[in-house]
Structure 1
Amino acid sequence: MATQHTYRVIVRGTWDRLSDASRATLLAEVADHGMAQLRFTPEGSLVYDAALVSFSYRYTIVSDAEDGEEMAAALAEEKAEAALRAAGHGYRRLRAKATDMDTMKINRKGRG
């Protein structure tokens, strides 16, 4: 069985050709998608502001370590695309950056 790693992935994009309905929905929910709600979750956490220029999703992806960060980034992009399509929101320029949490080095300051 392959070793599983946990990745934190940020998918960034820009809003594109938002319909009046999408714009109204996003603006009505903007308070629910601010920096205070910023979390990495398997379902994805959407963050944007009232300017409706750009957005980001935060995902936790568990995948085979041998597939690496590239696969985790691709999986998160697919999830973001599916969520945006399901909501009917226009977007463009999705790009993802993944961090392998199982190989991340944590520097701890000693007690002194």
Structure 2
Amino acid sequence: MSTRTFRITLRGSFDGLTEGQRAELLAAAPAHDMLRAEFTTEGHLTYDIAARPFFTFRFLAQGEKEEDVLDATARAELAAEAWLAERGYGFKQLRSQAQDMSSAPLGKRQRREAARGAA
């Protein structure tokens, strides 16, 4: 059986932050800049708290069956909630979206490379 790669994106907004928590997030903001966004197994957080209260976690997971994306998404949601709870950050409207990369359409360069490999 082949391994499938899943990209899971969780979006939400911080809620009820204290001034101290807000200052903490602002101080750590360079490490969570949107331009550094990546999908990782432990989850990567991005936000711009100076502009708006929204955040995004990006997770990378693997499974063997298409249905494994449901378990991977649930694990990602729990991991994001745990990270926020450990720091006492309130949040709301957490929603997730997952993509099975084995079923993602190929880009122009990938199609060209696939055509070369088939020739």
Task: Give TM-score, length-normalised by structure 2.
Answer: 0.80
* Residue 15 of structure 2 corresponds to residue 7 of structure 1: no
* Residue 69 of structure 2 corresponds to residue 69 of structure 1: yes
Structure 1 distance, partners of 2:18, 2:41, is: 28
Alpha-carbon distance, 1:73 to partner? 2.0
Q: Which runs of 5+ in 2 are unaligned?
A: none
Superposition pairs for residues 1-112 of structure 1, below 5 Å? Answer: 4-49=3-48, 50-107=50-107, 108-109=111-112
Task: Give TM-score, length-normalised by structure 1.
Answer: 0.84
SS in 1 for 2:59: strand
Superimposed CA distance per residue, residues 66-103 of structure 1 (whole angstroms, 9 cap, x where no aligned partner): 52433322221111001111122111111010001123
Whichever residue aligns with residue 44 of structure 1, its letter is: G
The sequence identity of aligned pairs, in percent, is 38
Whichever residue aligns with residue 74 of structure 2, its letter is: A
SS in 2 for 1:51: coil
How many residue pairs end up in the alignment? 110
Alpha-carbon distance, 1:12 to partner? 0.2
| 8 Å Cα contact 1:39/1:45 also seen in 2 | yes
Alpha-carbon distance, 1:57 to partner? 0.4
Structure 1 distance, partners of 2:104, 2:5, is: 11
SS in 2 for 1:93: strand
Q: Which runs of 5+ in 1 are unaligned?
A: none
| 8 Å Cα contact 2:63/2:69 also seen in 1 | no
Structure with greater helix share of residues: 2
| 8 Å Cα contact 2:14/2:89 also seen in 1 | yes
| 8 Å Cα contact 1:4/1:62 also seen in 2 | yes
